[in-house]
Amino acid sequence: MSPPPRLRTATPARRKPARASRRAPRPAVATLEMVARAAGVSPSTVSRIINGTAAVSSERRLAVERAIARLDFRPNPAARGLASGRSMTVGVVTQAIDSPYYGEGLRGIEAHLQANGYAPLFMSGHWNARDEERALAQFAARRVDGVIFFAGRLGDKALAAFARLVPTVVTGRRLAGPGLASLKADDEEGARLATRHLAGLGHRRIAFLAGPGDNVDAREREAGYRRALAETGIAFDAGLVAAGDFHESGGLQAVNRLLDRGARFTALFCANDQMAQGACLALARRGLRVPADVSVVGFDDLPGSSYTIPPLTTVRQSVFALGECAARALLEMIGGRAPRLALPAVELVVRESTQRLRA
């Protein structure tokens, strides 16, 4: 594209005209200097008042505040960032801005950031390290004050290296270092809860749809499944486990494979809700009713999961809270404080896709 022309809001780098023409068109936005002139003080003073960076006599303060209001002055963030070295902006590497799972987390991030005067800059990583790296590079170039790395595939090493330059909090893995903090839900505990719920209902043949093997959450969920089996005295049966990919289609295919190879089960724990949804469709197609013939539990509690047919029993970990906590921790780090890394506990949400095993 050819370079775009200037906008009406532009502030061209042009020398001031020797003398302003009478009735020059009012510029689109006020500058600090205009406020200072209107209030009869120096720009420094206006800056100090805006930033609360020094005590100022109350009369001046009043005059300045009135001028700000009258001119509807809003500091230019670019100028501010350039002068102060702070951009009041936080980069967020999100894997897919439209993910039903992560979306809520972005909202949590946005809410907390906004409440503290920061603005999020979202960039999609598309679940591949190259795009993630590109996003980080862009963020560095834009001089963000910090970065939230919401899940993703980039290696721990690369992340740690980046964090030395820009304070970073990463989600979905456990990792720490200079400028780096992490936040991780207790996926194993959630999976344990889910599986024990099924066992408590009398089920002994509990199948499991696993997530991608290179995903930490997925692995921990499998660990929780196995731990719960052990705790309830059920022998692990590899024939009841099928690999999935966290998508509906993967859940559907996994159930088909399970059924095709003659696996017999009365309950099914899926490593996430999307797979559970696909699994339910596969079961329905095979004439198996949920929960009459097989009880199904998911994981995540997606927004839509209380309206599936039947409404899905699942494990909730508030992704909104995850986003909020990540943002909070990051701002704490930016502020030079120790980040609080606690997350709300995971909990089981019992709905209508599970029932007691009929004798």
Partner DNA sequence: CTGAAAGCGCTTACAG
Taking the C-alpha atoms of residue 152 and residue 157, their distance in angstroms, rounded to an integer, is 13
Taking the C-alpha atoms of residue 115 and residue 122, their distance in angstroms, rounded to an integer, is 17
Q: Which of residues 295-314 bind a second copy (CB under 8 A)?
A: 303-304, 306-311
Among 66, 70, 130, 164, interactor with a second copy by CB under 8 A: 164
55 in contact with a second copy (CB under 8 A): no
User: Residue 96 binds what, of a second copy, DNA, none (CB under 5 to 8 Å, by partner type)?
Assistant: a second copy
DSSP structure string for 112-133: HHHHTT-EEEEEE-TT-HHHHH
Residue appearing with tokens 């469709």: 281
DSSP 239: G
> Residues with Cβ < 8 Å from 59, sequence gap 6 or more?
none
The tokens for 304 are 């839509």
Taking the C-alpha atoms of residue 45 and residue 61, their distance in angstroms, rounded to an integer, is 9
Among 37, 65, 80, 247, interactor with DNA by CB under 7 A: 80
C-beta of 57 vs 114, nearer to DNA? 57
Beta carbons of 92 and 120 less than 8 angstroms apart: yes
82 in contact with DNA (CB under 7 A): yes
Q: Which of residues 260-319 bind DNA (CB under 7 A)?
A: none
Distance in Å, CB of 44 to DNA, minimum = 3
Phi, psi of 149 (to 5 degrees): -105, 100
177 in contact with a second copy (CB under 8 A): no
157 in contact with DNA (CB under 7 A): no
138 in contact with a second copy (CB under 8 A): yes
Among 31, 65, 124, 216, interactor with a second copy by CB under 8 A: 124
C-beta of 3 vs 262, nearer to a second copy? 3
Distance in Å, CB of 59 to a second copy, minimum = 25
SS3 readout for 94-107: ECCCCCCCCHHHHH
- Number of amino acids touching DNA (CB under 7 A): 34
Beta carbons of 99 and 156 less than 8 angstroms apart: no
Mask for 59-98, x = binds a second copy (CB under 8 A) = ---------------xxxxxx-xxxxxxx--------xxx
Among 2, 7, 15, 238, interactor with DNA by CB under 7 A: 15
> Residues with Cβ < 8 Å from 199, sequence gap 6 or more?
206, 228, 229, 232, 234
C-beta of 6 vs 130, nearer to a second copy? 6
347-349 vs 314-316, strand pairing mode: antiparallel
Taking the C-alpha atoms of residue 276 and residue 298, their distance in angstroms, rounded to an integer, is 5
C-beta of 46 vs 240, nearer to DNA? 46
51 in contact with DNA (CB under 7 A): yes
Q: Which of residues 27-46 bind DNA (CB under 7 A)?
A: 27, 30-33, 41-45
Among 38, 75, 297, 334, interactor with DNA by CB under 7 A: 75
Cβ density class 107-126: b for 16+ within 10 Å, e for less: ebbbebbeeeebebbbbbbb
Distance in Å, CB of 251 to DNA, minimum = 48
Distance in Å, CB of 210 to a second copy, minimum = 19
26 in contact with DNA (CB under 7 A): no
C-beta of 56 vs 281, nearer to DNA? 56
Residue appearing with tokens 């963000």: 144
Tell me which residues touch DNA (CB under 7 A).
11-16, 27, 30-33, 41-45, 47-48, 50-51, 53-57, 60, 73, 75-76, 79-80, 82-84
